[in-house]
Amino acid sequence: MAQPASTETIFNKPKIELHVHLDGAIRVKTILDVARRRGIVLKAENEDQMKHLCVVHKPVKEFTEFLDKFEEYMHVIAGDREAIKRIAYEFVEDKSKEGVIYVEVRYSPHFLANTDVEPIPWNQKEGDVSPSDVVHLVNQGLAEGERDFNIKARSILCCMRHMPNWSMEVVELCKKYKDEGVVAIDLAGDESINCEAQPGHRLAYEEAVKCGIHRTVHAGEGGPSSAVKEAVEVLKAERIGHGYNTLDDRVLYKQLLEQNMHFELCPISSVLTAACDPDYTKNPVVTFKNDKANYSLNTDDPLIFDSTLQLDYRTAQEYMGFTEEEFERLNINSAKSSFLPEKEKKELVNKLYEAYSMVENSETA
Ligand SMILES: O=c1[nH]cnc2c1ncn2[C@@H]1O[C@H](CO)[C@@H](O)[C@H]1O
């Protein structure tokens, strides 16, 4: 994989990030600290060794090879109240250092729980941290981070493709914690195993529509364009996670461009998960940009890709022809496509106009 040559800071201005997994954005040091405190023996003794276990350096052969990386460390954090709160807090600090002023972070509450979850994930013993406790702990960590680092952080709860039985609980948690910063539901995991959404997912998304919970869906990343169509038409997705393979269906793509559908694009992730061609100049992100689509640029899983938002922006600039103007345009579109209530969204958009010294103009996007 080509690595950008320059080290200068690209687009050193306020940014929005809409697609990043909390459990794919944990500090390596934190994994080691928590393992030590809990007496969990890892295959790694230091940060370098741990990084070696968690990081995908070149495009994987199978998407599952990427998802398997989570197995290296999730059992360390899951079921531990202090650790769950800590990763959320540290996440906000890391994002503030990257110049992000608004972030929507996503995770599966079930993946971090050790009770009231069937099956209990990561070979954990039963404990006392339920999916609901997880959401409350993450909310606390994010709120403390917001206060200390002066950025706004909201969260999205993930259903998992292979666990349709969890999805109704996920939407119930979205409802329960609406006032604590949970803004939407997502469907993540391996699309290729289970491309058509199971009834459990469909029912959860119907409930989300009914209750005014915002919706995004991972689709058209490893899966085909039909998964994107289903996400939009059946699951009523308001944004698409990744969506690269939408481009295979020109009619659908044109329709989504006309609808101003927001695509949550993740350049480095798209190459390392082998969703896209390893040659960045041929990446679908270039087409979305050239067509002036509505999209965001995101890290997805910075721990696993050993990346930062800066690296995604630099890659976009060096290999995909991104300009300062395009970075501004896409961030304004990202703010407009955020799942914030209208008033807060407007404030966020205005903050960007101000930071970019632009006059508000509804034609800009
Ligand atoms: O790029 C991705 N595509 C699909 N699923 C993903 C991706 N990155 C992470 N996860 C999955 O979402 C879960 C909740 O955060 C993660 O545990 C991982 O299994």
Complete DSSP assignment for 162-189: T-GGGHHHHHHHHHHTGGGTEEEEEEES
How much is the pLDDT for 364? 45
Q: Please tell me the chain's helix, strand, coil percentages from 3-state DSSP, rounded to the nearest 5.
A: 50, 15, 35
CA of 155 to the centre of ligand 1 (A): 14
How much is the pLDDT for 194? 64
| CB of 15 closer than 8 Å to CB of 356 | no
216-242: pLDDT as tens digits: 999 999 999 999 999 999 999 999 999
Atom nearest to 275 CA in ligand 1: 1
189-198, 279-288, 320-329: the lowest-pLDDT one: 189-198
72 within ligand 1 shell (Cβ under 6 A): no
Q: What are phi and psi of 27, to 5 degrees?
A: -75, 140
CA of 159 to the centre of ligand 1 (A): 10
Pick 194 or 329 by higher pLDDT: 329
24 within ligand 1 shell (Cβ under 6 A): yes
Q: What are phi and psi of 152, to 5 degrees?
A: -105, 130
117 within ligand 1 shell (Cβ under 6 A): no
pLDDT band for 9, please (50, 70, 90 cuts).
confident
Which token pair is 165? 């039985």
Catalytic annotation, residues: 221
69 within ligand 1 shell (Cβ under 6 A): no
Model confidence, pTM:
0.96
User: Which one of 71, 158, 161 would you pick to mutate in the ligand 1 pocket, going by the greatest count of ligand atoms within 8 A of its CB?
Assistant: 158
Q: In what order do the strands lie in the sheet with 100-107?
A: 15-21, 100-107, 152-160, 182-188, 214-219, 239-242, 262-265, 294-297
